[in-house]
Structure 1
Amino acid sequence: MNRRFALKATLAATALAALTACAHTPKGDDIVDIAAANGNFNTLVAAVQAAGLEETLRSPGPFTVFAPTDAAFAALPAGTVESLLLPENKDQLVSILTYHVLPGAVQSGDVLGAVTNVATVQGQTVRVDGTGSKVGPSVKVNDANVTAADIIASNGVIHVIDKVLLPK
């Protein structure tokens, strides 16, 4: 009797798992949705919109975005953000923002223990250093620290950084 019950329970669980796997899962939040909902990326979201990149960062991707916080933007020289948001500086803004984006989804585990130069969507490379520090694993992008890693979006991954990356 117990064997029969166990067999029926196993078959039912397998059938349920198969149905669940085939079921349509709702589309998750994309990179822009996650940044906008967070509250620490208001400047980044405004810049993405001003640069006309919102639709791109909502597309299927996948993308890896090194997302500077509002505090990182505030650390730029006074007036820099306001100047970049002006329509006449759109090309420069696009260049800076696309310097924060990699094609493909790269998670922190992919870079731990290595130093790599990676091509950005902008065309230049960033130096990703996953060799860590004396206190434990850490990742740096150029001279910015990754303060939160592997925020998974429906179209890629976000890594929070503490500085705005500026192309050379």
Structure 2
Amino acid sequence: MFKHILSLVPLLLIFSLHNPKCSAQSPAPSPAPEAAPHIVPILKKAGHFNTLIRLLKRTQMDRRIYSLLNNSNQLTIFAPTDEAFHMMPTETLRSFTIQQKIQLIQFHVINSLLSFSDFQTVTNPLSTQAGDSGNYKFPMNVTMSESNQLNITTGVVNATVTGTIYSDDLLAVYQVDRVLLPMRFSVSPHHQLLHRH
């Protein structure tokens, strides 16, 4: 009988080592989730986006964009260069209310991640953070030329994508040569000066 009990001891030992409740080993920690990209450092690194950076900070849209990305939302941003802002009449941007400045930034943010090749099959008008894409509000249309030049039209401005600044699984940022002004701003009597272009 004593031999029989001794032969069970190795089996009990093996069972206790393989039983998760008896194991002293804790599970391996899961890798920390990657931090969402911050738009301001991306633009600073690229250079020549100082006006856009100031506008993002003043409207706190930099925080909103980060929050959206941090919640796994995917976005595409069209980033006008400093030169693009200088092409606007000086009084135009200054005359915008803070709400209009927020809408201006939102109009440059697409509610999905679009790779450069995605623009060939995208449905117009694009949906932006600014809202309604109906006539005289916030319509934005994109077309790809045969030479793979991406053009954007808002009904007020025609712009061209001049490069890719940043791209990952959550965010794509494209450089544009003009500030994308929405039709809603141009039909307001307060902003008729936009038609001088």
Q: What displacement does 1:26 show? A: 5.4
2:148 to 137, 144, 154: 137
Q: What displacement does 1:30 show? A: 2.8
User: Which has the larger Rg?
Assistant: 2
Corresponding position of 2:140:
126
Corresponding position of 2:62:
54
Bigger fraction of residues in strand: 1
Per the normalisation by structure 1, the TM-score is: 0.73
Counterpart Cα distance in 1 of 2:36 and 2:129:
23
Counterpart Cα distance in 1 of 2:173 and 2:92:
24
Give 4+ residue runs of structure 1 displaced > 6 Å after superposition: none
1:139-164 deviations in whole A, cap 9, x for unaligned?
01111000003621564110110000
1:106-131 deviations in whole A, cap 9, x for unaligned?
1111012667321111013310111x
Unaligned runs of 5+ in 1: 1-21
Q: CA RMSD in A?
A: 2.3
1:43-77 deviations in whole A, cap 9, x for unaligned?
00100111121111212232110110000001000
| Residue 38 in structure 1 maps to residue 46 in structure 2 | yes
- CA 1:28/1:54 → structure 2, altered by over 3 Å: closer, same or farther? closer
Counterpart Cα distance in 1 of 2:64 and 2:169:
13
Counterpart Cα distance in 2 of 1:29 and 1:154:
10
Corresponding position of 2:113:
105
Corresponding position of 2:179:
164
Unaligned runs of 5+ in 2: 1-29, 134-138, 184-197
How many residue pairs match? The answer is 140
1:66 to 63, 71, 78: 78
Per the normalisation by structure 2, the TM-score is: 0.63
Alpha carbons 1:31, 1:155 under 8 Å: kept: no
Q: Which one scores higher on RCO, CA 8 angstroms, separation ≥ 6?
A: 1
